[in-house]
Structure formats: structure tokens, C-alpha cells
């Protein structure tokens, strides 16, 4: 970690996108860069906050559970000194974004939406789900559906980044520039 404390213009960065666009990888990379700049923070992968079974009636993606857990985890990280929370997850609507912002107790939120070409996503999903044909099939069919939902969600303010053919470091640098205005 760097010896001089850096500063950030946002207290929360939500990295959104369809499956296979690079949300978790980007969040991890951004967390590493913030740490090297001496900006206290934490990375949260929302998928881990919702991974339970069976899904409650009417909430197939366990959004309510994820938000309850997010509220507790964010509070703990902020109490421990985190100045920036980096959250990777799928947020399908403006209402979900507002609920997420409230759960994270965010006062200055940067919404980043990652996108990628279908062929790029297919390759990433094939690597991620190698040996698990059921998961690969589900994610491969979910991608175009989810990409369309996100395109039509009407997000008012977002940093939209196409990750196709870009190294993770380039995507992270673009987000970092917005966070730190360096």
C-alpha cells in the first residue's frame, strides 16, 4: 500500500453489466489500484451476498436478501474505515440502483456499466463454466436477455465501458480516472 493517502470523488463505485462482461475482475482490479493509492476501501461481489437456496417466492435472483446483506457488510466496512466501496453485481433497473445506493449508504455513487460483444462474452463464459454445461447454457442464454434489459433500463448517469478486446488494466484505469480525477 502506498504511504500517502489518496482521495476519491466517490464513496461508492457500482460495477454493473450482463454476465461475462468483466464485473468481478474489474472490481478486483479497481480495489487493488485504490489500495496502492492509499485510499481505504473494500470490494463486495453481490453474487456472494445472494447465493442461497431455494429462492424465495417472487424473488428468483434473491435481490431482497442481497440488499439486506449488502447493508450489513457495507456498514461494517465503512465502520472499519473504508472510504470507497467497490461493488460488482447486476442491477436491472433504476429502482434497483436506488435500493442498492440506499443499502450501501452511498452519498456519492459512480454507476459503471460494462458491456461486451456477444462473441467476447461467449468465450469468457466458456472458460468460466468449463466442465459445467448446465451453468454455461444458462449464462449463455441469459446474456442477451440481460444486456437488452440493461440497455433499456434508462440509467440516467453512468460510465458505459465496452470491455471487448480491452485489457482489464485499461478498463480499471478508465474507472480510476473518474474516481480520482487524476
Neighbours of 140 (CB within 10 A): 17
* Domain residue spans of the chain: 12-180
- Domain 12-180: give its CATH code: 3.40.50.300
Q: What is the pLDDT of residues 86-144, one digit of tens each?
A: 999 999 999 999 999 999 999 999 999 999 999 998 889 889 889 989 887 878 888 99
**Closest C-alpha among 99, 81, 85 to residue 45:** 85
Q: What is the pTM of this model?
A: 0.90
DSSP 8-state symbol, 85: E
Amino acid at each position: 500500500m502506498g504511504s500517502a493517502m489518496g482521495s476519491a470523488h466517490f464513496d461508492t463505485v457500482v460495477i454493473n453489466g450482463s454476465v461475462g462482461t468483466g464485473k468481478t475482475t474489474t472490481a478486483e482490479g479497481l480495489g487493488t489500484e485504490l489500495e496502492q493509492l492509499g485510499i481505504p476501501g473494500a470490494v463486495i461481489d453481490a453474487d456472494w451476498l445472494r447465493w442461497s437456496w431455494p429462492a424465495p417466492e417472487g424473488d428468483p435472483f434473491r435481490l431482497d436478501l442481497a440488499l439486506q446483506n449488502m447493508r450489513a457488510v457495507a456498514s461494517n466496512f465503512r465502520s472499519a474505515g473504508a472510504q470507497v466501496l467497490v461493488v460488482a453485481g447486476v442491477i436491472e433497473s433504476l429502482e434497483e440502483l436506488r435500493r442498492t445506493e440506499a443499502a450501501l449508504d452511498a452519498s456519492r455513487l459512480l454507476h459503471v456499466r460494462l458491456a461486451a460483444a456477444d462473441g467476447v462474452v461467449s468465450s469468457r463464459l466458456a472458460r468460466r463454466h468449463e466442465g459445467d454445461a448446465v451453468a454455461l447454457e444458462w449464462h449463455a442464454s441469459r446474456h442477451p436477455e440481460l444486456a437488452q434489459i440493461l440497455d433499456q433500463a434508462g440509467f440516467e448517469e453512468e460510465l458505459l465501458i465496452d470491455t471487448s478486446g480491452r485489457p482489464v488494466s485499461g478498463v480499471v484505469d478508465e474507472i480510476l480516472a473518474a474516481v480520482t480525477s487524476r
